[in-house]
A and B are shown apart, each in its own frame.
Chain A
Amino acid sequence: MKHTIAVMVENKFGVLARVAGLFSARGYNIASLAVSETLDPQISAMTIVVQAEDEKILEQIKKQLNKLIDVITVIDFTKKEHAERELVLVKINYKPANKARIEKLLKKYLGKIIKIGKNTAVIESVGEQEQIKQLLDGLKVFGVKELIRTGKIAIAV
């Protein structure tokens, strides 16, 4: 099962390596990881989506993260009301003839074309993961050439 946790850390060099190293050393899986500065430039926020088979492993992940000296707080969003988003960029095959069909789909799943190349278009979409999944499914018929996503970010309500 996937769990989303937020980790507030000291904004110092090497902290990302400490967190990532903890996961690899103890054999935990990271599904996605996003890091950025917060309002306080001395603190960085990480949103980590972890794959944990059971509650015990999730508990252990949280405890081990808390043990790192540079970790200030660990928030588990599993049972906490929160808002979450992910940004995805998708490059698809593009012909002007398809424009209307594509735009109809984008309207439905909150995406937009941000760049048009010779035979390709880059689409951006921000949303919850289920909505992004549906958009990607809908885009398949045009031919998805490349895909990149930021990983989830989350904030407590």
Chain B
Amino acid sequence: MTGAQIVLECLKKEGVEVMFGYPGGQILPFFDKLYDSDIKFILTRHEQAAAHAADGYARATGKVGVCVATSGPGATNLVTGIATAYMDSIPMVAITGQVKSMLIGNDAFQEADVTGITRPITKHNYLVKDVRDLARIIREAFYIASTGRPGPVLIDLPSDVQMADTEFVWPEEINIRSYQPTYFGHPGQIKKAIRLIKQAKRPLIYAGGGVITSGAHLELKELAEKINAPVTWTLMGIGCFPARHALSLGMLGMHGTAYANHSIMESDLILAVGARFDDRVTGRVDKFAPGAKVIHIDIDPSSISKNIPVAIPIVGDAKNILGQILEELKNPPNTSQWLKQVDAYKKKYPLFYKDKSAAIPPQYVIEQIDQATKGEAIITTEVGQNQMWATQWYKYSHPRTFISSGGLGTMGYGFPAAMGAKLAYPDKIVFDIAGDGSIQMNIQELATCVCNKINVKVAILNNGYLGMVRQWQELFYKRRYSQVCITAPDFVKLADSFGALGILVTKKEDVRPAIEKAIKTDNTVFIDFRVEQEENVFPMVPAGEAINKIIGGLA
């Protein structure tokens, strides 16, 4: 077999159903063999979108997303997508063409040092120098991408290696001596954790993306109900616990609910599960939850005690460890006083927005999408105000239904990610909550959607601004609106020219009918919601403040 055939054979054995990418000179041998393959390939209109689509597919399914690009500019265009996946621990394999082995280092046409460029943004990467290593490398790449703390792995494949012939041997077993993730919690640590839980008067569960990665949502719910602890989550953790549950506190942090922030500050025990105490969550670190001891469950030891001192570290897989705790925990603490206090916070500081002016409140649009889809849609987001409102006003009940660039905060992510999610679940409604700024960053994917009948719905909260930057300029830069007033095309005409449906909505009463129409339409739909222009995302904790120093959003 040639190297190119080996790649395709390996992808098939790994169970790859769909990949995303773009051809080019140095990946031609691969694309030639792809011509005979039955693996579905989605030709995007930009390599960045291919990476985001693979990422969206991976987040929706938990499987490894695969993207393919040529050398040089093809590969560098993947970089933002790979970095996005890396920051959010998303399993992905990126395959890039490379110039012929003998030309590497010669500044050949379309040559770039792609393994060098992607080293800090991949979990691991490979430059394949010998076709005999290829099958093993692909097997390792999928294994590394999907195990432990997942992440993207890149394989750089010179064109001569794609053409070289060798016998195909599928490595049945993988053994990487230097890579042995820990999956079960140390029994001694579990016992110590249980002791702390039993002593707690004001316990709180703080859950992150690790709960979703490990599929620990049911154990999480069982534990929360068993110890009667309220649950808050990070942006990456959205969907790990039903938002409509009585113990739910919603998201915490900079734009989290005020009651989540007040609750965590007052807690005496934080059970952190698969979360990493990011600065958007903790606010000012030395003022964070002063009375709380921390039990930290994470599969990545380097996430523990990185930002916050931890009393009981437990390294391992969240699902296993929560299972271990549930099995051994008897006589849970009585937290009824604490839950009363938390409920008082909920009553005192509800999520809130003003609905007075003639313009459409952006939050209202998301509430209506929530109601129209009964909270059962897959929501992707761009980055900025649209993203924060999507965290606040849509009530997620299931893991893998909220897909958003958390760590890197990549504008232009949501639309291609929605394509990936929709391909994974063709029967589900997939909405991208977008802003008029973000959507213009990967708008070319309208062509991909229409061409492949990927019927995603894009709700553009069009306020004529780069809203979140404008908000910061309003609040912290004396309203000096520098380069945030952004023009947009006529989205209706634009959608039409691509063969999609565009709907313009300027009145509040037309919001719901437009959403219903979009859902019913068997096509990709752009809805241009002209929303209140200078609406802010509240509540808000200014950067660097303690997370109970909240501004705005009080009823």
A residues apposed to B, CB below 8 Å? 9-10, 13-14, 17-18, 21-22, 25, 56, 59-60, 63-64, 66-67, 69-72
Query: What A residues does B120 contact at CB under 8 A?
Result: 21-22, 25
Query: Are A69 and B178 in contact (CB-based, < 8 A)?
Result: yes
- A-contact 0/1 string along B237-280, CB 8 Å cutoff: 00000000000000000000000000000000000000000000
CA distance A25 to B320 in the complex (A): 33
With CB as the reference atom, state the residue of chain A lying closest to B148: A67
CB distance from A67 to the nearest CB of B (A): 6
Which residue of A9, A13, A60, A72 contacts B306 across the interface (Cβ within 8 Å)?
A60
B127 within 8 A of A: yes
Q: A59-B305, A60-B306 are in contact. Are A69 and B179 (CB under 8 A)?
A: yes
Given A13-B127, A22-B120, 19 more pairs with CB closer than 8 A: A9-B178, A14-B115, A14-B119, A14-B127, A17-B116, A17-B119, A18-B119, A21-B119, A25-B120, A66-B301, A66-B302, A67-B301, A69-B124, A69-B179, A70-B124, A70-B178, A71-B178, A72-B177, A72-B178
CA distance A10 to B176 in the complex (A): 11
* Most chain A CB within a 10 A radius of its CB, from B123, B178, B306: B178
User: What DSSP secondary structure best describes chain A's contact surface?
Assistant: helix
Query: Are B178 and A10 in contact (CB-based, < 8 A)?
Result: yes
CA distance A70 to B144 in the complex (A): 12
Interface residues of B, CB < 8 Å — how many?
17
Query: What B residues does A13 contact at CB under 8 A?
Result: 127
CA distance A101 to B314 in the complex (A): 62
CB distance from B211 to the nearest CB of A (A): 21
Q: List 9 A-B pairs, minimum CB-CB distance, nearest first.
A: A63-B302, A69-B124, A72-B178, A25-B120, A63-B301, A69-B179, A64-B302, A21-B119, A67-B302
CB distance from A57 to the nearest CB of B (A): 10
With CB as the reference atom, state the residue of chain B lying closest to A61: B302
CA distance A56 to B176 in the complex (A): 29
B300 within 8 A of A: yes
Query: What A residues does B144 contact at CB under 8 A?
Result: 69
Query: What B residues does A67 contact at CB under 8 A?
Result: 300-302
Q: A14-B127, A56-B305 are in contact. Are A69 and B176 (CB under 8 A)?
A: yes
CA distance A56 to B127 in the complex (A): 34
Query: Are A69 and B116 in contact (CB-based, < 8 A)?
Result: no
Query: What A residues does B176 contact at CB under 8 A?
Result: 69
Query: What B residues does A70 contact at CB under 8 A?
Result: 124, 178
CA distance A25 to B179 in the complex (A): 22
Q: List 17 A-B contacts (CB under 8 A).
A: A9-B178, A10-B178, A13-B127, A14-B115, A17-B119, A21-B119, A25-B120, A59-B305, A60-B306, A63-B302, A66-B302, A67-B301, A67-B302, A69-B123, A69-B179, A70-B178, A71-B178
CB distance from A3 to the nearest CB of B (A): 17
CA distance A149 to B489 in the complex (A): 63
With CB as the reference atom, state the residue of chain B lying closest to A13: B127
CA distance A21 to B120 in the complex (A): 7
With CB as the reference atom, state the residue of chain B lying closest to A67: B302
| Residues B117-134 near A (CB distance < 8 A) | 119-120, 123-124, 127
Query: What A residues does B116 contact at CB under 8 A?
Result: 17
CB distance from A28 to the nearest CB of B (A): 13
CA distance A10 to B124 in the complex (A): 13
